[in-house]
Amino acid sequence: MAKIFDGLAGLALFSGSSKVLDQYYQAVAQGDGNFQSATVRKARALFKTPPSTPPWKEKGAKEADPGKLSTVRAMRTIIDADRTSQSKDPDVTASIITYKALDRLQILAEAAAKPGLSEAERASLARSFDKGLRDLQSYMSGATLDKLRLLFGELSSHTESNKLGGDVNSFTGQTRVLARSADGLLQGVSGSERIEITLGNRDGKGRTDTVTLDLSTLGQPPRLGEVVKALNAKIGSIALTTSDGSPLLDGAGRPIPRWGAQFTLELVGEDQWAIGYRLPANETVRLGQAGAPDSIMVVSAQTDDNGTTMAMRRVDNPQDETANARPLDRIGAIDRDATAREAAKNDEAKRPKGPDGKPLPPPDPTKLADLDVRAMATDASGSSYVVGTTDGDFGAYRSTGKTTLFVTKLDSAGHVLWQHPLGEPGTSTGGAISVDAAGTVTVSGTVSGDRDRTVSMDDDMVVARFTASGQKIFSTAIRSGGDDSATAVTVGADGSIYVGGQTSRDGVRQNFVFQIDAGGNLRQRATLATDTGGTIKALAVDPRSGALLALTRDDASAVLRTLDPATITEQAQFDLGAVDARALAVSSEGRVAVAGATTGTAVAGAQANGLTGGRDAFVTQLDATLANARTSYVGGGGDDQADSVAFIGDAIVIGGRTKGDLAGTRTGKVDGFTARIALDSGAVGAIAQFGTYEESVGPVLVGRVPGPGSALQALGLPSGDLGGVEAPDLASQTGLHGKDEAIGAAGDRFQLRLNDMPAFTVEIDKDETIRTLADKIKRKLGKAVTVTAPVVEGRATLKISVTPGNSLKIMPGPQDQDALPRLGLEAGTLISDKPPAKDEPKVKPGGKFALSLTTTLSLASREQAKTAVDAIKQAIARVQGAYSSLYWSPAKAALLDKTQGQPIDARTQKQIDSYRSALTRLGG
């Protein structure tokens, strides 16, 4: 038999209207309690909560009194201390504290729902509301309760984290669809190409092997299955050997392969076949096509009415006059709260219906966060590293609402291999990047606010180093006692890091270059003799001489300087003139290129061509002594500018933006372009212009990647490294801080409490992975909770579920050390009930009451404030229902007697019928 009073609890839980609850309260107040059945007497004996008067029944009580608005806004927290409750009963105390907090949130929300608010006033209310909502969530996740279960969100027995890079034993992937059958012909292959495969260990130690597959040795024209089989045969031909070079044999007398990498045929759809690959986690595979020319990787921000994304393109055969920037992929950062609010609007009942009468699929609710693309560097393997800033979610990172620097690693086909945050608790902006010969990534930026859990009143420079897999090696702050900002970074052959930036103290600004050793220790600093308004735009190291080059922009002109890397003293300089110089590159032979924009002013030195009018992009070539300058201009008489420069093959390539028609007709509001400039002569060669209707292209970044050639393109495989293993530690992926006993640093944390047992703390260790975290929690909780970390397609998720008869409280850590947000876990309580026993009372005090709140509620607009008001009112009704469930009432007796066949008077019967009608409307 269904438990009718549990149905009433469900009514309080799910009903969006308070009318039914009002009927319930009326029944409680009017009943005389004179019931004599044994069932009633037994049930009534369970209700022992001491009498109390809730705030909404106090004399003169006024719901959401707007006169208290200023008091609520001035509160440090909307959560009252336990001692403010007059009751010693924990359920009564928690109900009253929760009600008062909700009442205060309603005051804020109703104030924000009024018309005519200024932006500043609305923003202030929104901040107070957001903090109050999170304070309430934190309180409810740890509140002491007895018979009640008050839940901030929805009722659930399980939860899971965001998807994280798995601690995997292998790396898998697949290409695009290539053929309609496993033996299908490959399009775009001549059959004479030679594919080079280099195999090695991911730690860079031990031997490497290179084998070459000559497609001319296969059947012509080549077929998909035959190529896959031949690739595996080449890899398998390399055997493990003994110390004398003899091959090791298995039990059947066959050579044991040295490498475990394999290519596979994958059926990815009906008559759709692709190439898959499976790499052991400790192996690397690098692909190339003999004789293929280098390509240009192009990365830029692209903005339309929906927001900004990072777009990847590649220019193959850049020396070809018909070269074009082929689109590869686009990625964005997600505004998590705005997306959740948009998804909530997609109510099935409100969606238009299709011809079949069913609601049409909801529109994509994804809302993009702000995104800025700052700089890019490429390595010898063909990977590109992009640094930018965002206040949204990306990769495994979950935003805390502050702008953060991030690094994205791409393969030569533009696929994302990993995305990691800088991992600073404060706001991090700016961004410069450099990659050394070993593939180590160095990033510089500016951090505002707290760092290393210490409060800083000034902006500080920060330098961080990552391995090629994205694991953070160190992060070092550079403080001067004033506001500092980092604008450039480069790395010397000995591993020394040079950071360029500006410091401002007592109104005086100076430009500095700092030298940091490979371990992150500051070695020296030097002031550059620039104007007070000057900026260090870029740094680079001459790979032949080791000289340090600095490009600065003063009030009057742009200057290129050569510095002694040992002392950071100036040795030579070249004044380019009153132009906007932005980018710097040095070739392996010591050639120097500077790029930027100029309006009507020629760059100093020889001219390869003339200005075109308006603003022109320019690139200036110099030799290692900063002599023999020659400048080339790229423009169409309108607004053109260069953002980046690189040496690629036997030419210089610039990336830039145009509002004109450089190579065809402009497509978007602002288009991007790449231009090839001949060495020595400075002749302007192939220009590839690109854009999208109604979109604006941001700064265009270019870098060299190995050309894929026709064979790899036909196979859908990237040139350079195939796939990539992401650092599995949570600190690198999410920005969490791990416990480091060597330096006495505490780790981020959260708490768990199983049933009525004491709470325990889960602290993130320095090298914590999703798998070690799952094992740590499992050891503490035992069989009452199921904890897993399954890996699907290289991504792992921490999953926690309680077994029947148990509950688990998930409580946040301290404000500046809370691990839950970065893991994508919500504070709250997981509950799983046992099936009811046959003799269990149909009516008993307490129960489960979910408030169905979410931290995505916002007061950012009037409409959102109205939605918040409705949600808070429903939550208040449910808290009132929870409080009333603790006390005996005639309505409860009437319900019991109804279930036992006892006679019921007409008035009570009418109340019961009203409850049943309401439950029926709710699907009960």
Span of 11-20, 70-79, 419-428, 643-652 with lowest mean pLDDT? 11-20
- In the structure, what pLDDT confidence band is assigned to residue 2 with cuts at 50, 70 and 90? very low
Q: Look at residue 678 and tell me whether its pLDDT is greater than 70.
A: yes
Rounded to whole angstroms, the Cα distance separating 86 from 702 reads 68
For residues 643 and 672, the answer to whether their CB atoms sit within 8 Å is: no
Residue 902 has pLDDT above 60, yes or no: no
Average pLDDT over residues 513-542: 86
pLDDT of residue 479: 76
pLDDT band for position 42 (50/70/90)?
Answer: confident
pLDDT classification of 912: cutoffs 50, 70, 90: low
pLDDT of residue 815: 81
245-249, 411-415, 554-558: the lowest-pLDDT one? 554-558
Nearest to 545 by CA among 576, 593, 505, 589: 589
pLDDT at 331: 94
Mean pLDDT confidence for 272-290: 88
Asked if residue 526 has pLDDT above 60, the reply is yes
Residue 22: pLDDT band with limits 50, 70, 90: very low
Per-residue DSSP letter, 471: -
Share of the chain above pLDDT 70, in %: 89
Q: Provide the pairing of β-strand 592-599 with 615-622.
A: antiparallel
| Token pair belonging to 154 | 């929805």
pLDDT at 226: 94
State residue 35's pLDDT score.
38
Decide if pLDDT at 484 tops 90.
no
Q: Is residue 213 pLDDT above 70, yes or no?
A: yes
Pairing mode of beta strands 295-304, 696-705: antiparallel
Model confidence at 20, pLDDT cuts 50, 70, 90, reads very low
Q: Residue 353: what pLDDT? A: 80
| Max avg pLDDT among 24-33, 351-360, 450-459, 812-821 | 812-821
pTM: 0.85
pLDDT digits (tens, 9 = 90+) for 663-677: 889 999 999 999 999
Confidence of residue 792 (pLDDT cuts 50, 70, 90): confident
Residue 901 pLDDT more than 70? no
- β-pair partners for 389: 372, 405
Segment 399-414 shows an average pLDDT of 90
* pLDDT mean over 864-869: 94
Cβ density class 487-515: b for 16+ within 10 Å, e for less:
bbbbbbeeebbbbbbbbbeeeebbbbbbb
How many angstroms separate the CA atoms of 116 and 98, rounded? 30
Mean pLDDT, residues 3-23: 40
Backbone φ and ψ for 314, nearest 5 degrees, come out as -140, 135
Check residue 674 and give its pLDDT: 96
pLDDT of residue 650: 87
Q: Does residue 238 or residue 431 have the better pLDDT?
A: 238
- pLDDT given for residue 842 in this prediction: 79
Report, as an integer, the average pLDDT of 56-60. 91
pLDDT exceeds cutoff 70 at 453: no
Residue 168: band (very low, low, confident or very high) from pLDDT cuts 50, 70, 90: low
Mean pLDDT (the chain) is 87
Specify the range with the lowest mean pLDDT, choosing from 47-51, 89-93, 337-341, 450-454.
450-454
Most confident of 429-433, 752-756, 890-894: 752-756
Residue 797: predicted pLDDT: 92
Q: What is the mean pLDDT of residues 580-603?
A: 96
In tens, the pLDDT along 294-346 reads 899 999 999 999 899 999 999 988 888 778 899 999 999 999 988 888 887 77
Phi, psi angle pair for 131, to nearest 5°: -65, -45
For the stretch 235-265, pLDDT in tens is 999 999 888 888 998 888 899 999 999 999 9
Contact partners, residue 515, CB within 8 Å, separation at least 6: 496, 497, 498, 522, 523, 524, 525, 565, 568
Whether the pLDDT of residue 113 is over 70: the answer is yes
Task: Among 231-240, 485-494, 715-724, name the one with the lowest average pLDDT.
Answer: 715-724
Query: Above 50 in pLDDT, residue 922?
Result: no
pLDDT of residue 21: 41
Look at residue 923 and tell me whether its pLDDT is greater than 60: no
What pLDDT does 530 receive?
Answer: 65
List the strands of the sheet with 828-832, edge to edge: 760-763, 749-754, 806-812, 828-832
Indicate the SS3 state at residue 674. Answer: strand
Mean pLDDT, residues 590-616 = 95
